[in-house]
Amino acid sequence: MIFRRSSWNSSAVARIGLCAAMLAPLAACSDRIPSIKAPLGLPPVPFPAEDRPTGAKISLGEKLFFDRRLSANGTMSCAMCHVPEQAFTVNELTTAVGIGGASLRRNAPTVLNIGYHPQLFHDGRKQSLEAQAWEPLLASDEMGNQSADQVLDRLRGFADYRGMFEAAFDGKAPNVATVGQALASYQRSLVSGDSRFDRYRYGGEPAALSDTEKIGYLVFLGKGRCAGCHLIGNTAALFSDFQCHNTGIGNQASRQSGQQQPVSVRLAADQTATLTAEDLKRLGVQPVSDLGRFEVTQQDADRWAYKTPMLRNVELTAPYMHDGSLPTLEAVIDYYDQGGSHVQGQSPLVAPIGMTPIEKRGLRAFLSTLTGNPSPARYQRSDK
Ligand code: HEC
Ligand code: HEC
């Protein structure tokens, strides 16, 4: 799978306000780029003072994001788990699969609008995109590199990168900071708003939502208590409080881990086997445990708590929840309607709702109005 980076220009996410003349080479005009332009319904994208996004950094980050040569054996790029035409997630997998076919324990979240997240990963364990990028690069089951030096040595040897880092970073060569900053800048540029919801709520277009969708919006705000965590503001909507909550999904998953689905297990660098829960038990392998935010804070209250996802483009990012355990939006709505898993420690906001069939249909329809304009589904893959 190779993605043609040039296919982005006409696409989906509202790209940066590049130079007035888009035809000029990016590097030449990068310093004049004020910031990433926020679409209707989204606030300006924050960025650290020491890493102001520029056109040169963004296009370098884009090249890195799609480059399979960044993985230890040349097979995995960031874009293979954050697939552009699947709204930067992977629709076919409940949990991601990394280098050599290893199953990861969590679902790959979308990186659209990731620049707005003050904390990263399902458990919020990283605070900056600059630092986050090195985690998949060095994880043995993701991109499999032994050390940052290994990645940097390889990068320095690639002729097609010659001069790009230096041009983007005032003469600096590839190093841990510049690779992180380029990937961060590119990801900050992936903003997606101006959805039908935004046009209704912030654009003064009452006809942008149908009557059914308006019923769903009311359920989202009121009876369903959804907006208690998936926040909607007066001038913009992030659909997340960026806190971690226990919705009962994590407890449920651990209860069921005795009857796990078959999992693929990495035996050697390029050898995998598919094993059932019984095989694993016989071999003495524990099912993968996931305690959510507790793993970061060791606080009991954080057991099975996960970060509230932004719901923008949610129609395109199935399957859902940190473990991909809910396959459809209908399943998510049923889950909340029944009051989650009724387990100890579950957020009091997740309690039986008692929606009517019309309200459920409305809520489902409302969630589809959060797809950005143009739709991220229009990303194209090509075999360059
Ligand atoms: C093997 C699949 C895989 C690869 C390759 C991969 N990711 Fe991810 N990514 C994931 C998974 C799974 C998570 C969630 C992990 C967690 O929460 O513990 C994630 C999380 C993230 C997040 C945080 C999202 C959020 O909502 O907080 C960012 C940002 C991200 N990845 C960027 C990247 C970048 C940049 C690369 C390449 C350097 C990359 N990923 C490579 C699977 C992958
Ligand atoms: C207590 C806060 C809270 C409330 C209330 C809440 N959510 Fe969530 N929502 C979350 C969290 C946290 C997750 C992620 C859970 C996980 O990863 O296991 C989530 C996940 C989701 C997802 C899956 C998104 C994805 O990308 O995987 C959808 C869809 C969703 N919620 C919709 C709703 C709707 C609709 C309602 C109202 C009926 C609602 N939520 C109420 C906190 C909340």
Please give the pLDDT value at position 102: 87
143: nearest Cα among 183, 87, 190: 183
Low-confidence ranges of the chain (pLDDT < 50): 1-12, 14-32, 258-259, 380-384
Supply 175's token pair.
């190093």
In this structure, the residues whose C-beta lies within 6 A of any atom of ligand 1 are 76, 78, 80-82, 96, 98, 104, 106, 108-109, 111, 114, 117, 120-122, 129, 132-133, 136-137, 142-143, 183, 187
pLDDT value of residue 380: 46
The secondary structure of the chain in percent helix, strand, coil, rounded to multiples of 5, reads 40, 5, 55
Mutate to test the pocket of ligand 1, among 65, 67, 78, 103 (most ligand atoms within 8 A of CB): 78
Q: Which two tokens stand for residue 11?
A: 């696409």
The closest-lying atom of ligand 2 relative to the alpha carbon of residue 307 is: 12
Instruction: Show me where the domains of the chain are located.
Output: 5-192, 196-248+302-368
- Alpha carbon distance 61, 49 (integer Å): 18
Q: How far is the CA of 136 from the centre of ligand 1 (A)?
A: 6
So what's the architecture of 5-192 in CATH? Orthogonal Bundle (1.10)
Q: One fold for both 5-192 and 196-248+302-368? A: yes
60 and 165 in contact (C-beta within 8 Å)?
yes
- Give the pLDDT score at 383: 33
Is 326 near ligand 2, meaning CB less than 6 Å away?
no
Q: pTM, whole model, 2 decimals?
A: 0.88
pLDDT of residue 30: 43
The whole-number pLDDT of residue 265 equals: 58
For residue 363, the one-letter residue type is L
* pLDDT above 90 as % of the chain: 76
Which residues, in sequence order, are CB contacts of 81 under 8 Å at separation 6+?
89, 90, 96, 97, 98, 108, 136, 142
Q: Tell me, what DSSP letter sits at residue 126?
A: B
Longest Cα separation, the chain: 64
Task: Match domain 196-248+302-368 to its CATH number in 3.30.2020.30, 1.10.760.10, 2.60.40.10, 3.40.720.10.
Answer: 1.10.760.10
Predicted pLDDT of residue 375: 78
